[in-house]
């Protein structure tokens, strides 16, 4: 039976502005894919990212045509992610077997996940960290402006939390070196993509007080040979890799290179997080707080409490008990 594909754009309001070194957003802009065989429907969601020259319009245009041919021809990125995840969801319904079982994985009951402290004035970041101080892991968004002051403000407000520092490509090598001392003083367990992708050769052989993790420098397995020389960890995101299929293969290949593994996300609903949750049980770091930023998540989605991410309800995505 031929498959039919429907695609729609949604703007999901956030409960607070989300700021990083590249800008601020007040809504999550997502594209939702629904793939039907006439009886069952599989769903997927992606976040078009301007950093990679993606827009909702471009993603939706790329998703016109025969779904199976598209899956074979689309490059890594948001459009392929939504379609790939919809195929997995549909396959689970059609075959009566959960995606976790198909991949030979045990679904975790719950996992600690980073809570993001959005870029703000130091006092504002300290206030946000104090509100999230029960979370075991905080991701601290920084820029080139007063990074040490902001980091120390968060560390003092949440003294028990481990910290991930994320400049989103916003530092120079000089700033990275200057930040070594404050990073060593705080409970920083990871520094994520400090230098711009393509300008990170200086990381090769660099000694640093915390492991450095590739985010924008890593999309698919093609990038691993260079990444493995410069970084100690990788952030696998389905929107970069082009879906769960490549993300699973990328995670396995990264492990084979001796790299630590983070599974991350864009700001999106639980429909985007549920497929990424498949990787959460094997990750050293989980950063899947996207739905936590929404004013309202999708019914039946993930539950996020005190820095712990609970899986979506049965039937939400990727198993044969779909409720939608």
Whether 32 contacts 271, CB under 8 Å: yes
Partners of 14 in the beta sheet? 294
**Alpha carbons 233 and 223: distance in angstroms, whole number:** 13
Question: For residue 70, which phi and psi values (nearest 5 degrees)?
Answer: -60, -40
Q: Please say if 237 is a catalytic residue.
A: yes
Tell me which of 93, 139, 237, 240 is the catalytic residue.
237
Tell me which of 93, 139, 141, 240 is the catalytic residue.
141
- Start-end of H helices in the chain: 56-62, 67-73, 78-95, 99-102, 122-131, 147-157, 173-178, 180-185, 224-230, 238-241, 244-256, 270-280
Q: Cα dist. 62→10, 80, 81, 153 in Å?
A: 17, 9, 12, 44
Selection from 247, 175, 257, 170 nearest residue 216 by Cα:
170
**Hey, which residues are catalytic here?**
141, 237
């Amino acid at each position: 039976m031929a498959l039919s594909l429907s695609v729609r754009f949604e703007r999901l309001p956030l409960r607070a502005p989300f700021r990083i070194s590249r800008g601020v957003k007040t809504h999550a802009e997502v594209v939702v894919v629904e793939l039907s065989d006439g009886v069952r429907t599989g769903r997927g969601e992606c976040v078009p990212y301007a950093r990679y020259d993606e827009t909702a319009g471009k993603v939706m245009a790329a998703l016109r045509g025969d779904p199976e041919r598209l899956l074979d021809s689309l490059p890594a990125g948001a459009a392929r992610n939504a379609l790939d995840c919809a195929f997995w969801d549909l396959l689970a319904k059609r075959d009566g077997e959960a995606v976790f079982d198909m991949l030979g994985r045990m679904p975790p009951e719950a996992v600690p996940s980073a809570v993001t402290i959005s870029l703000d004035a130091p006092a504002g970041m300290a206030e946000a960290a104090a509100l999230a101080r029960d979370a075991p892991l905080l991701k601290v968004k920084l820029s080139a402006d007063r990074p040490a002051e902001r980091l120390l403000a968060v560390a003092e407000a949440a003294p028990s939390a481990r910290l991930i520092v994320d400049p989103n490509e916003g530092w120079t090598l000089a700033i990275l070196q200057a930040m070594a001392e404050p990073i060593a003083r705080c409970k920083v367990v990871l520094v994520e993509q400090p230098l711009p992708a393509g300008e990170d050769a200086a990381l090769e052989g660099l000694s640093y007080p915390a492991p450095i993790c590739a985010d924008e420098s890593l999309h698919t397995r093609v990038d691993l040979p260079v990444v493995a020389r410069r970084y100690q960890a990788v952030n696998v995101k389905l929107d970069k890799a082009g879906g769960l299929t490549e993300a699973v293969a990328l995670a396995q290949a990264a492990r084979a290179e001796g790299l630590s593994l983070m599974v991350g996300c864009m700001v999106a609903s639980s429909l985007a997080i549920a497929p990424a949750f498949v990787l959460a049980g094997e990750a050293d770091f989980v950063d899947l707080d996207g739905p936590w930023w929404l004013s309202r998540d999708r019914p039946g989605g993930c539950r996020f409490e005190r820095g712990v991410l609970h899986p979506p309800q049965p039937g939400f995505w990727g198993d044969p008990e779909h409720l939608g």
